[in-house]
Amino acid sequence: MTTQVTESSPARRANLLERLFRAREASLVLILLALVAATSAVNPRFVAPQSLRDLLLNVSIIALVVVGQTLVLLMKHVDLSVSSVVGLTAFLSGSLFVANPGLPVPVVLLAGVVMGALLGAVNGLLVAYGRVPALVATLGTLYVFRGVDYAVVQGGQINASNLPAAFSHLATGSVLGVPTLALLVLAVMVVFAVYLRSYRGGREYYAVGSNVDAAVLAGIDVTRRVMTGFVLSGAIAGLAGVLYLARYGTVDAAAGTGLELQVIAAAVVGGVSIGGGVGTLLGAGTGALLLGAIASALVTLRAPAFWQQAIQGALLLLAISVDIVLARRAARALQERSQR
């Protein structure tokens, strides 16, 4: 009797959980589709190839940074410094082109990743080894990295004319109508989504965020996992910095300011829990896409310019509230069923 219960209930629970998550992401996709349908019914130009391209380009950078942020949020930490990492690497990679105009594009992409990883390592050392709460550590490095950015930039800026055509092509070029930049971001997202879903290392992020003590008892090297998470978050933000440069062409010391809140908002709307251990990249990416679509729908619908931010804020708040209420209802249903 008892063996039957212990054997069947975890399996049933896993099955249910899977269905629940699928449902949560499905509801996001439904909201997104409804939004697109409604907006394009009013103004068909919303789904014109050019505006879809713009939407993808605008969302790509945020969606990329969300990947790293998700890794960190899953472990019940947070990385506020990503906006400063994006700004700093965007400028530094631009300076690389100014110094050596003939530099191949992949080299600069790699340089951005390495710079970002180093900055992320600073966060990782502080949180994993220095035991500084992530909120405090990354708020501190948000200031420090931005300060370094201002010190390096010295009031100058990188202009699109400084950049080789092959590099700008990342943002202007496309494959089968999809911008190259968006494809690159999608590739990174898929790689990390598979890693998080099916690899031991990926599952460890969930384990650490669900219950640190249990993770330690299960033999997970939590310190190393946390360190790796922050390094990856930094590296991905570094890559995003290079893509930011490709997308906007003009980069000054204020580039990327405030990005961190948009990124966290996208992750939370996408169902990644601030409490750790819950969320998928599919959801987080959809969250980024939804927020981007809302912003551009408001423009398309000619919402009064000064109301747009307020409407976005209200929708964000609504999304967070609905999400948590649904999650709680699902958890209660799960509990009742397992008691039966």
Partner 1 sequence: MTTPPARTPRVNLGWEAMVIGLLVLALLIGSRLNDAFFTAANLSNLTANLVEVALMALTMTLVVIAAEIDLSIASTLGMCSALLGVLWAAQVPMPLAILATLALGALAGLLNGVLVTRLGLPSLAVTIGTLALYRGLAYALLGDRAVADFPPLWTNLGFGVVPGTQIPIPIVAFVVLAVIVAVALHATPFGRSLYAIGASELAARFSGLRVERVKLTLFVLSGLMSAFAAVVYTFRFSSARADNAVGFELSVIAAVLLGGVSIFGGRGSVIGVIAAVFLIGVINNALTLADVPNEILTIVTGLLLILSVLGPNVAARVRAGSERRRAAAGVKGETT
Cα 272 to Cα 323: distance, rounded to the nearest angstrom: 10
Environment class of 304 (CB within 10 Å of its CB; exposed 0-12, middle 13-18, buried 19+): exposed
Token pair of 85, please? 């990492």
User: Based on CB atoms, which residue is closest to partner 1, 128 or 188?
Assistant: 128
Decide if 72 contacts 237 (C-beta within 8 A). Answer: no
Nearer to partner 1 by C-beta: 78 or 281? 78
Q: In this complex, which beta carbon is closest to partner 1, that of residue 37 or of residue 325?
A: 325
Closer to partner 1 by Cβ: residue 76 or 204: 76
Contacts 24+ apart (CB under 8 A), 330-334: 330/20, 330/23, 334/13, 334/16, 334/17, 334/20
Q: Give the footprint of partner 1 on residues 53-82 (CB under 8 A).
A: 78
Taking CA atoms, 205 is separated from 197, 201, 303, 325, in Å, by 10, 7, 41, 24
CA dihedral (105, 111, 114, 119) positive or negative: negative
Q: How far apart are CA 150 and CA 310, in angstroms?
A: 30
**Which residue number, 23 or 314, has a Cβ lying nearer to partner 1?**
314
Q: Taking CB under 8 A as the rule, does residue 140 contact partner 1?
A: yes
Q: Which of residues 272-301 bind partner 1 (CB under 8 A)?
A: 274-275
Inter-residue contact 46 to 294 (CB < 8 Å): no
Cβ nearer to partner 1, comparing 5 with 254: 254
Q: Find the shortest distance in angstroms from Cβ 91 to partner 1.
A: 13
Helices and strands (DSSP H and E) totals, the chain? 13, 2
Q: Does 150 bind partner 1 (CB under 8 A)?
A: yes
x/- binding map, residues 26-55, to partner 1, per CB under 8 A?
------------------------------
* 265 sits near partner 1 (criterion: CB under 8 A): yes
Footprint on residues 306-325 left by partner 1 (CB under 8 A) = 306-314, 316-317, 320-321, 324-325
Binding of partner 1 by 197 (CB under 8 A): no
**Does 139 contact partner 1 by CB under 8 A?**
yes
Q: Which residues bind partner 1 (CB under 8 A)?
A: 78, 126, 130-133, 135-137, 139-144, 146-151, 253, 261, 264-265, 268, 274-275, 304-314, 316-317, 320-321, 324-325, 328
